[in-house]
Structure 1
Amino acid sequence: MLRKELDALTPELYIELRRKVEFEDYSIEDVTQALEKTLFSVVIYDDDVPVGIGRIVGDDRIVFFIKDVVVDPSYQNKSIGTAIMKALMEYIEGKACNNAYVGLMSTPNKEGFYKKFGFIERPTEKYGHGMVKFVNRNIDNS
Structure 2
Amino acid sequence: MNSHIQLGHDVPEAEEYNKLRVKAGLSPKDIEASRRGLQGSLFIATLRLEGKLIGMGRVIGDGGCIYHVVDIAVDPDHQGQGLGKRIMAEITGYLDHNAPPTAYVSLIADVPADRLYRQFGFEETAPASVGMYRRF
Q: TM-score, normalised by structure 2?
A: 0.90
8 Å contact kept, 1:7–1:40:
no
8 Å contact kept, 1:5–1:44:
yes
Structure 1 residue matching 2:38: 3-state secondary structure: helix
Does residue 63 in structure 1 map to residue 53 in structure 2?
A: no
Task: Give a deviation string over 1:39-97, Cα, whole Å, max 9, x none.
Answer: 11111012322210111101112211000000001111101111111111111111111
How far apart, CA to CA, are the structure 1 residues paired with 2:12 and 2:57?
Answer: 8
Q: TM-score, normalised by structure 1?
A: 0.87
- Look up the match of 2:129: 129
Cα RMSD (Å) of the superposition?
Answer: 1.4
Unaligned segments of structure 2, at least 5 residues: none
- The structural deviation recorded for 1:25 is 1.3
Larger radius of gyration: 1
Letter of the 1:69 counterpart: I
Structure 1 residue matching 2:28: 3-state secondary structure: coil
Q: How many residue pairs were aligned?
A: 133
Q: Percent identity?
A: 26
How far apart, CA to CA, are the structure 2 residues paired with 1:76 and 1:130?
Answer: 29
Unaligned segments of structure 1, at least 5 residues: 137-142
Structure 1 residue matching 2:80: 3-state secondary structure: coil
Structure 1 residue matching 2:47: 3-state secondary structure: strand
How far apart, CA to CA, are the structure 1 residues paired with 2:39 and 2:59?
Answer: 12
Task: Give a deviation string over 1:95-122, Cα, whole Å, max 9, x none.
Answer: 1111211100011222111000000112
How far apart, CA to CA, are the structure 1 residues paired with 2:25 and 2:121?
Answer: 27
